[in-house]
Structure 1
Amino acid sequence: MRPESAAFLWDVRIAADRIGTFIAGLTKDDYLVDELRRSAVERQLEIIGEALNNLRRVDSDTAALIPEVGRIIGLRNVLAHGYAVVDDSVVWTAASRRVPELREIIDRVLAT
C-alpha cells in the first residue's frame, strides 16, 4: 500500500467514527428532525467519498478492496452537487448501517 493510501483510509476511519458519534442513541425519526445532525453526517459522508475517490485515483488496487467504492463516491457526489435531491432516509441507512460495515473493512485494509 502506498503511504498516501493509508492517509486516505485514516480520513475515512475518522469520518466514520464521527458519524457513529453523531448518531449514537438516535432513531431514524430523531435523525430526520435534527437538521444540525443531518448536516454533520452529510459532511462526514462527503469526506468519506472524497477520500475514497482520492484513494481510487492514486491506488486503484487498494481502493478495489473496498466493496461498492463507486457507490460510496457516488453518494458523495449527490451530497455535494445534488443537494436538492438528497433523500434523508438513504443517508440515514448509509450512516447507521453501511458506515459501521465500512469502518470494519477499513480496519482490515489498514492492518494489511
Structure 2
Amino acid sequence: MRPESSAFLWDAGEAARRVSEFITDLDEDTYRQDALHRSAVERQLEIVGEALGNLRKHDPETAAAIPDLHRIVGLRNVLAHGYAVVDDGVVWTAARHRIPELIVQINALLGETQDS
C-alpha cells in the first residue's frame, strides 16, 4: 500500500462513520422528510466517494480491494453534480446497508497498514 493511501482510507472511514452516526435513530421515512439529515448524509457520502476516487487514482491496487468502488464514486458524482436527480431511496440504502460494510473493509485495510 502506498503511503498516501492510508490518508485516503482514513478520510473515507471517518466520513462513513459520520453517515452511520447521522442515521442511527432514523427510519427511511424520517430521513426522507428531514432536509438537514439528508444534506449531512449526502455531504459525507460525497467525501467518501472523493477519498476513494483519489485512492483509485493513486493506488489502484489497494482500491481494487474495495468492492463496488465504481458505484461509490458514481454516487459521489451524482451527489456533487446531479443534485437535481438524487434519489433519496438510493442514498438511504447506501447509508443504511452499504456504509456499515464499507467501514469494515476500510478498517481491515487500515489494520493491514498499521501492522506492516
Output the TM-score relative to the length of structure 2: 0.95
Instruction: Name the residue aligned to 1:57.
Output: 57
Instruction: Name the residue aligned to 2:78.
Output: 78
Q: Distance in 1 between matches of 2:57 and 2:98?
A: 22
What are structure 2's unaligned runs of at least 5 residues?
none
Structure 2 counterparts to residues 1-112 of structure 1, below 5 A:
1-112=1-112
Aligned residues: 112
Of all paired residues, the percent bearing the same amino acid is 64
What are structure 1's unaligned runs of at least 5 residues?
none
Q: Which runs of 4+ in 1 moved over 2 A?
A: none
Q: Distance in 2 between matches of 1:20 and 1:69?
A: 19
Shift of the alpha carbon at 1:12?
Answer: 0.7
Question: What amino acid is aligned across from residue 38 of structure 2 in structure 1?
Answer: R
List per-residue Cα deviations over 1:46-73 (Å, max 9, x = no partner). 0000000000000000000000101100
Question: What amino acid is aligned across from residue 41 of structure 1 in structure 2?
Answer: V
Q: Distance in 2 between matches of 1:17 and 1:56?
A: 20
Output the TM-score relative to the length of structure 1: 0.98
Root-mean-square deviation (CA, aligned residues, Å) is: 0.5
